[in-house]
């Protein structure tokens, strides 16, 4: 496992390579969610045993900020990275990173061989409201002009990095104790370091706002997903408190050609809550694609 920076036309991004073949040609490119980092994929990479190039989106992890922090801007960065790799590849995305991955696959089908979506940010379905409002309410508060950045700063003042990571995992996981000690340690190191970055809160705040706007544009969102040509695996947890499971079920039903798997008893980050099970689902799907 090693971290390095890649200079792209529109951004400089920090990347981490995992797995046996990662030194040269990765099998997958992994895109984290809101507030996440490349290290969100470390436990899955150990179990999946494939070369993974995991990235820190601009303004997250150890990547410097860019002019804009939005799914659209991040989509451009990921496209530039895939062009840099010079070959089609499997794209793996969680939460906001899942939304970015869908947009990349829709905009540049020539660059995406396969698409793996883990609890992707998706638009509301029909009149179904979130069954658990704690996380959506907090995200809404943190997206508000003025209040959002102030609330994030207040949380940093009141909580140590250890407490901050624990609170986040308690909010988004079905059982936060299922996340490995090693993964929690990396998250804590990053949380500590990011307190020294003057742009970190701004990047987080802008990303929340922009993601909300992207998924609320129903017709544009549906047109985007309709443009996805790559074989797609959609998997999500039945206990996800961030993205309503009924919305993800509706996304899967809208695309019957996709493989949709629901993970019973799992929350918003299956690759950290149950990396072995997540890897098993992905490998089984890969095998079915090769058959």
pLDDT (tens digit, 0 to 9) for every residue of the chain, 291 residues total?
A: 558 999 999 999 999 999 876 546 789 999 999 999 999 999 999 999 889 999 999 999 999 999 899 999 999 999 999 999 988 999 999 999 999 999 999 999 999 999 999 999 999 886 555 556 566 666 665 656 666 677 777 777 788 999 999 989 998 999 999 999 999 999 999 999 999 999 998 998 899 889 989 998 999 999 999 999 999 999 999 999 999 999 999 999 999 999 999 999 999 999 999 999 999 999 999 999 876
Distance in angstroms (rounded) separating the CA atoms of residues 196 and 3: 19
Provide the pairing of β-strand 89-95 with 232-237. unpaired
Name the DSSP letter for residue 242: S
| pTM more than 0.85 | yes
Distance in angstroms (rounded) separating the CA atoms of residues 212 and 145: 13
Q: What is the 3-state secondary structure (H, E, C) of 56-104?
A: CCCCCCCCCCCCCCCHHHHHHHHHHHHHHHCCCEEEEEEEHHHHHHHHH
Distance in angstroms (rounded) separating the CA atoms of residues 141 and 173: 20
């Amino acid at each position: 496992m090693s971290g390095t920076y890649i200079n792209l036309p529109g951004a400089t991004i920090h990347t981490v390579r995992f797995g046996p073949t990662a030194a040269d040609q990765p099998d997958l490119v992994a895109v984290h969610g809101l507030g996440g980092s490349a290290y969100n994929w470390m436990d899955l990479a150990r179990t999946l045993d494939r070369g993974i190039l995991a990235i820190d989106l601009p303004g997250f992890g150890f990547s410097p900020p860019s002019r804009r922090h939005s799914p659209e801007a991040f989509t451009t960065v990921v496209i530039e990275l895939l062009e840099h790799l010079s070959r089609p590849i499997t794209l793996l995305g969680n939460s906001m990173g899942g939304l970015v991955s869908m947009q990349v696959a829709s905009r540049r089908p020539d660059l995406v061989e396969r698409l793996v979506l883990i609890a992707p940010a998706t638009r509301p379905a029909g009149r179904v409201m979130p069954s658990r409002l704690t996380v959506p309410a907090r995200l809404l508060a943190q997206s508000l002009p003025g209040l959002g950045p102030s609330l994030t700063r207040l949380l940093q003042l009141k909580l140590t990095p250890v407490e901050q990571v624990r609170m986040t995992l308690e909010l988004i996981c079905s059982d936060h104790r299922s996340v490995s000690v090693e993964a929690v340690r990396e998250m804590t190191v990053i949380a500590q370091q990011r307190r020294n970055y003057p742009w970190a809160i701004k990047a987080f705040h802008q990303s929340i706002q922009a993601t909300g706007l992207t998924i609320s544009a129903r017709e544009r969102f549906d047109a985007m997903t309709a443009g996805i040509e790559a074989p797609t695996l959609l998997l999500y947890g039945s206990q996800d408190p961030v993205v309503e499971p009924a919305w993800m079920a509706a996304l899967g039903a809208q695309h019957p050609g996709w493989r949709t798997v629901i993970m019973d008893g799992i929350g918003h980050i299956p690759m950290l809550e149950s990396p072995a099970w997540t890897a098993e689902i992905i490998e089984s799907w890969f095998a079915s694609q090769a058959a």
